[in-house]
Amino acid sequence: MLSDQSDGRDLSPQFIARPRLFLFPFRSESKMGVDIRHNKDRKVHRKEPKSQDIYLRLLVKLYRFLARRCNASFNKVVLRRLFMSRTNRPPISISRLIRKMKLPGRENRIAVVVGTVTDDVRIQDIPKLKICALKVTDGARRRILKAGGQVMTFDQLALASPKGHGTVLLSGPRKGREVYRHFGKAPGTPHSHTKPYVRSKGRKFERARGRRASTGYKN
């Protein structure tokens, strides 16, 4: 081994052959991290309902257990719908319920609605229905029971069909609200059927441009 004892430097062949790190100041033995932006990391799906209704939260606790322990996607769908806002749980009328349950293969099945079932006075004859819903209006409940049907709650459904066998999951029209008529292409533009926000509906309100070919264009 060659070593200079005067200044303490190691002059061995291994030391001389080794690259000198101080010759490359831009190299470092410590690894650099990546500075990740976290300002847009918000998860927008719900993990629990916003409502503080204790009965709704008891149902969430029940179906959270069933979704975890039962190998059935039915309970996972019901749990996800229990988290939803009221605008995403629109009411469903008896007429739509009857029409959906008349489809082939749905005889003697339970109609499950994570929402409200409302009455429809335009329907005269109601068949025998077996439904489960969060809420059923008084008129709808009276007519269903009078026809020999049955109205269940979700805790009763969990006992009768914990895996969702013999059920049909239904929901109301999610885009049935009046506000959706105002969404889309700008009102008055060609081929637009979007409802305009107007002060009033009469002879003098939005009857010219886009309504007749002589004034601009005919939509």
We report the CATH number of the domain holding residue 154 as 3.100.10.10
Beta strand 3-4 pairing with 9-10: antiparallel
Direct distance between the N- and C-terminal alpha carbons of the chain, in angstroms, rounded to an integer: 96
* Nearest-angstrom CA–CA distance, 2 and 13: 8
Q: How many structural domains comprise the chain?
A: 1
Q: Quick: pLDDT tens for 88-104.
A: 999 999 999 999 999 99
How distant, in Å, are the alpha carbons of 23, 48, 55, 56, 83 from that of 52? 66, 10, 9, 8, 11
Q: Quick: pLDDT tens for 177-219.
A: 999 999 999 887 888 899 999 999 898 888 887 778 888 878 7
Nearest to 158 by CA among 65, 26, 22, 50: 65
Could you tell me if residue 35 is inside a domain? no
Show the tokens assigned to 185: 């292409």
Residue 169: pLDDT band by 50, 70, 90 thresholds?
A: very high
Could you tell me if residue 150 is inside a domain? yes
What was the pLDDT predicted at 188? 78
Q: Quick: pLDDT tens for 109-144.
A: 999 999 999 999 999 999 999 999 999 999 999 999
